[in-house]
């Protein structure tokens, strides 16, 4: 991707990554540029660099996660940072410890950075106010998942020249999706047009205020899109009556092989894990224009970039 503008800063003017609302287009471009260099490290025989030796990263996952947790762990390891991992099951959270006490205890182990996944929106913001550590949000409720959005725009940038005029549609349960919200922030900041599409029960009223178009017809969304991002249908929400059945959802909002034939330049993304035959038909998941696995590789590179750019200096406390 050609640089869109020369105003990329040389360092991030932020202490945390809680969501992307305070991040400018220049900040995002700096993260993407840095991630591209780490991406080339990941393609080398020796995939580890000594950059963050001596930094300790706590991965605190209060909610189940496979790929995000692995991705952050791998990113920290590739940078030679030390990691401690924490998950809700089998921890003292089950014994009734509060979030703050859990965090204080982890910080008493002298962690510099905390990566947190939590079911409550705002949990990372809360911790950023009550602890000294640098906070990276790995997903908080339906609020934000900034590193997912960053890896998505990095993946897009490998296939396009500029975000100006790019049209991206996000299909699925927008109401419950932190991935959708963070992607809307990243994409609109970079100058792309965004359409959200799904059943009326899954589109929050007033979402137009985020600067997106709304449609309830998949064909409308696909007609105007360069890239379509299908969100995972959370099977556990089926009881809430948001849609009649998985089959009906697939018939009306699933992306099929025929759609790929009708839109010969369309790229398909998905934050994973995919429900095959629900959001995407089988042959779409394996389609050459489905760029889902490069999203996964880029996830490690983006998280390396975020950890590197936000890592606190050892002397920061003295100089501040």
Partner 1 sequence: MEPDDRIKAQLMAERDLGRTLDRMAQQILELTDPDADNAADAFALVGMQTRGVHLARRLAARIREGDDVDLPVGVLDVTMYRDDVRLRLNQPQIRETHIPVDLTGRHVVLVDDVVYTGRTARAALDALMDLGRPASIRFLVIVDRGHRELPISTDIVGRRVPTLPGEEVRVRVREVDDREGVWLVETPRPRGDDADSA
- Per CB under 8 A, the list member of 28, 52, 154, 192 interacting with partner 1 is 52
The answer to whether the beta carbons of residues 278 and 233 sit under 8 Å apart is: yes
User: From the CB of 125, what's the least distance to partner 1, in Å?
Assistant: 23
* Residue closer to partner 1, measured from CB, 98 or 315: 315
User: From the CB of 38, what's the least distance to partner 1, in Å?
Assistant: 8
* Residue closer to partner 1, measured from CB, 34 or 182: 34
- Per CB under 8 A, the list member of 7, 22, 54, 100 interacting with partner 1 is 54
Burial of 130 (0-12, 13-18, 19+ CB in 10 A): exposed
The CA-atom distances, in angstroms, between 148 and each of 45, 84, 98 are: 26, 21, 27
* Residue closer to partner 1, measured from CB, 217 or 314: 314
User: From the CB of 183, what's the least distance to partner 1, in Å?
Assistant: 25
- Residue 96 contacts partner 1 per CB under 8 A: no
User: From the CB of 22, what's the least distance to partner 1, in Å?
Assistant: 17
- Rounded to whole angstroms, the Cα distance separating 43 from 45 reads 7
Reading the block at residue 90, the tokens are 């089998």
User: From the CB of 316, what's the least distance to partner 1, in Å?
Assistant: 6
* Residue closer to partner 1, measured from CB, 44 or 209: 44
- Residue 89 contacts partner 1 per CB under 8 A: no
* Residue closer to partner 1, measured from CB, 50 or 96: 50
From residue 266 to residue 305, what is the string marking binding to partner 1 with x (rule CB under 8 A)?
----------------------------------------
- Per CB under 8 A, the list member of 17, 55, 57, 195 interacting with partner 1 is 55
H or E stretch including 268? strand 267-269
- Rounded to whole angstroms, the Cα distance separating 272 from 85 reads 22
- Residue 110 contacts partner 1 per CB under 8 A: no
The CA-atom distances, in angstroms, between 139 and each of 194, 215, 289, 293, 312 are: 21, 26, 27, 20, 21
Q: Say how many CA atoms lie within 13 Å of 191 toward its Cβ.
A: 11
User: From the CB of 190, what's the least distance to partner 1, in Å?
Assistant: 19
What is the three-class DSSP state of 191? coil
The strands making up 167-171's β-sheet, listed across from edge to edge, are 213-215, 193-197, 167-171, 227-230, 267-269
**Binding positions for partner 1, 8-47, rule CB under 8 A:** 10-12, 30, 33-34, 37-38, 40-41, 44, 46
Beta pairing partners, 196: 170, 214
Strands (E), 2-53: none
- Residue 197 contacts partner 1 per CB under 8 A: no
User: From the CB of 319, what's the least distance to partner 1, in Å?
Assistant: 6
User: From the CB of 258, what's the least distance to partner 1, in Å?
Assistant: 42
* Residue closer to partner 1, measured from CB, 48 or 224: 48
The answer to whether the beta carbons of residues 281 and 268 sit under 8 Å apart is: no
Write the DSSP string, 106-175. Answer: HHHT--SEEEEEESSTTHHHHHHHHSSSEEEEEEETTTB-HHHHHHHHHHHHTT-S-STT-EEEEES--T
Chain residues that interact with partner 1, rule: CB under 8 A = 10-12, 30, 33-34, 37-38, 40-41, 44, 46, 48-52, 54-55, 308-309, 311-316, 319
């Amino acid at each position: 991707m050609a640089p869109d503008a020369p105003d990329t800063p040389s360092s991030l003017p932020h202490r945390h990554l809680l969501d992307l609302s305070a991040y400018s287009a220049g900040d995002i471009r700096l993260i993407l540029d840095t991630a591209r260099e780490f991406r080339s490290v990941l393609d080398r025989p020796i995939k580890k660099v000594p950059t963050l030796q001596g930094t300790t990263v706590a991965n605190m996952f209060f909610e189940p996660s496979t790929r995000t947790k692995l991705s952050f762990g791998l990113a920290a390891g590739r940078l030679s940072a030390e990691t401690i991992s924490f998950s809700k099951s089998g921890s003292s959270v089950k014994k009734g410890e509060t979030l703050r006490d859990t965090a204080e205890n982890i910080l008493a182990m002298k962690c510099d950075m905390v990566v947190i996944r939590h079911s409550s929106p705002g949990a990372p913001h809360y911790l950023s106010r009550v602890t000294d550590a640098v906070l990276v949000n790995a997903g908080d409720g339906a609020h934000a998942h900034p590193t997912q959005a960053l890896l998505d725009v990095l993946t897009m940038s490998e296939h396009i020249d500029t975000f100006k005029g790019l049209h991206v549609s996000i299909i699925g349960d927008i109401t419950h999706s932190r991935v959708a919200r963070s992607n809307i922030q990243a994409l609109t900041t970079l100058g792309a047009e965004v359409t959200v599409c799904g059943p009326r029960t899954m589109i929050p009223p007033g979402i137009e205020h985020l600067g997106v178009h709304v449609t309830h017809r998949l064909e409308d969304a696909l007609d105007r899109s360069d890239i379509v991002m299908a969100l995972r249908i959370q099977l556990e929400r089926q009881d809430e009556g948001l849609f009649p059945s998985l089959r009906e959802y697939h018939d009306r909002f699933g992306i099929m092989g025929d759609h790929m034939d009708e839109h010969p330049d369309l790229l398909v993304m998905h934050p994973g894990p995919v429900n095959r035959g629900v959001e995407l038909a089988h042959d779409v998941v394996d389609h050459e224009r489905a760029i889902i696995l490069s999203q996964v590789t880029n996830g490690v590179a983006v998280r390396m970039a975020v950890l590197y750019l936000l890592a606190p200096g050892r002397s920061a406390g003295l100089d501040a």
